Structure 1
Amino acid sequence: MRLVTAAEMREIDRRAIEEYGIPGVVLMENAGRWVAQQVASRWGGASRKKVVVLCGRGNNGGDGLVAARHLWQQGAQVKVFLASEPDKLQGEAGVNATIWTRLGQEFYPLLTPSGLQAFKLALFQAGVVIDALYGTGFRGQLPPELRTVVEVLNSSGCPVVAVDIPSGVEADTGRVEETAVKAQLTVTFGLPKLGLVLEPGASYTGELLVADISLPRPLLAAKGPGRLYLLPSLVASWLPRRSPVAHKGDFGHVLVVAGSRGMIGAASLTAAAALRSGAGLVTLAVPRSCQEVVATKLTEAMTLGLPETKEGQLSAGAWEALQPWLSRFTVCALGPGLGRHPETVGLVRRIVAELQLPLVLDADGINAFAGEAHLLARRSAPLILTPHPGEMARLLGTEAGGLAFRRVEVAEKAAKDWGAVVVLKGARTVVAAPGGDTGINSTGNPGMATGGTGDVLTGVIAALWAQGMEPFRAAAAGVFLHGLAGDLAAENKGGVGTVAGDLVENLPRAWQHTIASEEASKAHGLSRLG
């Protein structure tokens, strides 16, 4: 599904109104009605339900007023708290404020001492709260008086439905300063906004639903490169299917160049993940002193011993030793567990510059270019990089903390500058292609924060690429399947104590689950995203 910024969504709304003649008040009516329907269906119907609605003065507040009216019409006891004077609601929001008062309903002030006390009392009695304070235009910090309201709300334990986006979350980045509304459910409109699926915003969003409010389909359809939320049905549509008469040669031969003395596990995980992700053949090339160990460990993979330094890391001579073998391979994965010996660094740079095979570069392969990222742009053959934030920071000569709220921007710029697909790992991994496509992952969990999971991802991506997927899709699908394997592992073993090998074992199941979901479709104009 396509992801949009706040500005992109505003432009879609504008065009719907101006070019298609759909009045803004109709869009607002549809939005608020969807919110009301979700409240009624999830919390035991509207009749006699006590509902608190928090409204700002913008269109988001107008959506909240529509929801309040529909719930009241169905018999709910609704109290609307305004973070504004009623006469400051303008446009479509003003129309709905007038309707509310003409129905004989009142507004309760929110930003006065007595209003806050009334809110606390109403909250104590409420069955559900609707957050319509701020919409996608929010930036920065909530004002102090609203921070108090939000803190009271979050500590109440009362279920919250956010209208379009939880108040306090930035729509373009997911950034939250100090606090934001913690929703159990967010009903967003038309298309999901980036901040709803990027952390930390995703953690405030709860379950995410996308409602069809009758925005014209041509406006919602992506034209050319764009940002995509990586969901099962999308990924399933990309995955290769196997012919009944297929043989191992049809699914590629992955070369993994990895490992060093004391770091054999990283190399083994990469090779095992490639095998579990459908590669027809896998050869693991390691320092000669490590070959016997990995050959024993990996029954299904072939091994190749290469020249090494006295410290047990690959030496400069490994490049020449590889030459007679290169014609056999489809894709190369380079980097896990290599170490940072100067000869090894030089070898990595030479391989990246001269190897004409498609290349997945990870871990110490990336570290070999710390502070020298411009060298990556000189590579002529296809390249996928898989840095975690620390490795990306080293490439760019900056601090990892400075990337936290610019992950999409950083990945997209790096992909363009280096002419490579960039996989910026972390919660909600970002996959960016030089041509402009970007994917945000929807799978994965904190239990995957353990050594070796990045090595597994490298093997998954290399295997998908070897099976004929184009680079961006191979990387994006690999990230999705890798995260789903982690989710399946957590289901079986719990979030704490999951290890990288558990992901490897769950990769085939992740593939099966994804294919099985391909027929999942929207129901009643609503898409469930989280």
Structure 2
Amino acid sequence: MSDPVAVTPELLRRTPLPRPSEEGDKEERGRVLVVAGSVQVPGGALLAGIGALRAGAGKLQIATCASVAPHLGLAVPEALVAGLPETAEGGISPDAATALIERARRCDAVLIGPGMMDRPAVAALAGALLRGLDGPPDGPSLLLDAGALAALEQAGAAPPHRAGRMVVTPHSGEMASLLGMERADVSADPPGVALRAARQLGAVVALKGSCTHIATPEGARWAYDRGRVGLATSGSGDTLAGIVAGLLARGAPPEVAAIWAVYLHGEAGNRLARRHGPLGYLARELLAEVPAILAELCDWS
């Protein structure tokens, strides 16, 4: 088996993102729905939502717990924020699935998982959304992150009509749970495990780590090893998920959204490391770096 292709600026320029027209409005750049957050970790929804906007998505909706929704609405004034029923543990209730499915069908990309702490509830909710959104090929692109990955643990694979049209972004511990293996075995062969997961789950996989490995069900593989240790910080995965979702909303194919997002996330960390030092920058600070990196790579002047 050949080695994964390195994710570099040269690769990205050969794999361009959809270019919006100068006359286009925000609808052209897509609508993102971020289903995220909990009473304990409302910031996961904030980081992911802003990540989607920084990646160039045109419109943002956040669906979160009712008790924190007003606060998120003030913190992210660019977003429509919908409050949903809560569980006793502070998560989004699976009873919200029907309303969310209707909302999601009107969007171009749906991200489920950041900051969702009630694991049984998020597994049930994400599973219901997967089933409810399985159908026409013009439905939204889906991204499962963090707690929402438990829905795939139970299902074993993406719904039939979502095969190859979904992205998952596990770290090594989450990947071990997804595949029923030991974390040490994931760490021993991350490129092989990423490919196995992509084929088994029917999804584009971005296996996060010091070197992030991306794989498709068809067998294409990429690797990004330019990230620094400072990226391993609270909320960093939420920002990456949001960037992927924003690129999906803009019309990028799942594998293109994944490789671009991994690079943008990593390069944002590199720039902060040069400015502030290798440790101590915040996940929220990554997001303001993304538009300039995009502009340099896309060269739309």
Q: TM-score, normalised by structure 2?
A: 0.92
The alpha carbon displacement at 1:351 in A equals 1.2
Please give the residue correspondences for 1:367-516 in structure 2 after superposition, counting only pairs within 5 Å: 367-370=150-153, 372=154, 374=156, 376-381=157-162, 382-515=165-298
SS of alignment partner, residue 439 of structure 1: strand
Residue matched to 1:233: 10
In structure 1, what is the Cα distance between the partners aligned to 2:56 and 2:100?
24
Residue matched to 1:278: 56
AA paired with 2:99?
Answer: A
Question: 2:131 is matched with which residue: 344, 353, 361?
Answer: 353
Please give the residue correspondences for 1:149-298 in structure 2 after superposition, counting only pairs within 5 Å: 194=3, 227-237=4-14, 238-298=16-76
In structure 2, what is the Cα distance between the partners aligned to 1:461 and 1:353?
22
In structure 1, what is the Cα distance between the partners aligned to 2:34 and 2:160?
19
In structure 2, what is the Cα distance between the partners aligned to 1:302 and 1:492?
34
Distance 1:286 1:379, change over 3 A: farther
SS of alignment partner, residue 495 of structure 1: coil
Preserved contact between residue 316 and residue 346 of structure 1 (Cα < 8 Å): yes
In structure 2, what is the Cα distance between the partners aligned to 1:415 and 1:365?
16
User: Which of the pair has more CA radius of gyration?
Assistant: 1
C-alpha distance after superposition, 1:423-454 (max 9, x if no partner)? 10011211101112111114321110101110
Preserved contact between residue 198 and residue 205 of structure 2 (Cα < 8 Å): yes
In structure 1, what is the Cα distance between the partners aligned to 2:63 and 2:225?
33
C-alpha distance after superposition, 1:127-181 (max 9, x if no partner)? xxxxxxxxxxxxxxxxxxxxxxxxxxxxxxxxxxxxxxxxxxxxxxxxxxxxxxx
SS of alignment partner, residue 328 of structure 1: coil
Q: Does 1:342 align with 2:120?
A: yes
Preserved contact between residue 172 and residue 207 of structure 2 (Cα < 8 Å): yes
In the alignment, structure 2 segments of 5+ residues that lack a partner are 135-139
Distance 1:443 1:242, change over 3 A: farther
Residue matched to 2:137: none
The alpha carbon displacement at 1:268 in A equals 0.6
Question: 2:109 is matched with which residue: 322, 326, 331?
Answer: 331
Preserved contact between residue 211 and residue 224 of structure 2 (Cα < 8 Å): yes
Preserved contact between residue 40 and residue 117 of structure 2 (Cα < 8 Å): no
Preserved contact between residue 104 and residue 110 of structure 2 (Cα < 8 Å): no
C-alpha distance after superposition, 1:89-144 (max 9, x if no partner)? xxxxxxxxxxxxxxxxxxxxxxxxxxxxxxxxxxxxxxxxxxxxxxxxxxxxxxxx
The alpha carbon displacement at 1:275 in A equals 0.5
AA paired with 2:34?
Answer: V
What is the aligned residue count?
292
Q: TM-score, normalised by structure 1?
A: 0.53
AA paired with 1:501?
Answer: R
Distance 1:276 1:434, change over 3 A: same
Residue matched to 1:42: none
AA paired with 1:350?
Answer: A
The alpha carbon displacement at 1:369 in A equals 4.1
In structure 2, what is the Cα distance between the partners aligned to 1:495 and 1:417?
37
SS of alignment partner, residue 317 of structure 1: helix
Please give the residue correspondences for 1:19-98 in structure 2 after superposition, counting only pairs within 5 Å: none
In structure 2, what is the Cα distance between the partners aligned to 1:236 and 1:446?
26
In structure 2, what is the Cα distance between the partners aligned to 1:312 and 1:342?
12
User: Which has the higher mean CA deviation after the structures are superposed, 387-396 or 484-493?
Assistant: 484-493
C-alpha distance after superposition, 1:466-499 (max 9, x if no partner)? 1111111111111111111111111221111011
AA paired with 1:280?
Answer: G
Distance 1:353 1:488, change over 3 A: same
C-alpha distance after superposition, 1:281-324 (max 9, x if no partner)? 01010011110110011121111111111232111211122244
SS of alignment partner, residue 289 of structure 1: coil
The alpha carbon displacement at 1:280 in A equals 0.3
Question: 2:89 is matched with which residue: 285, 289, 311?
Answer: 311
C-alpha distance after superposition, 1:345-400 (max 9, x if no partner)? 21121112222421100001113444x361x2435222110000010011112221
AA paired with 1:361?
Answer: L
Identity %: 37
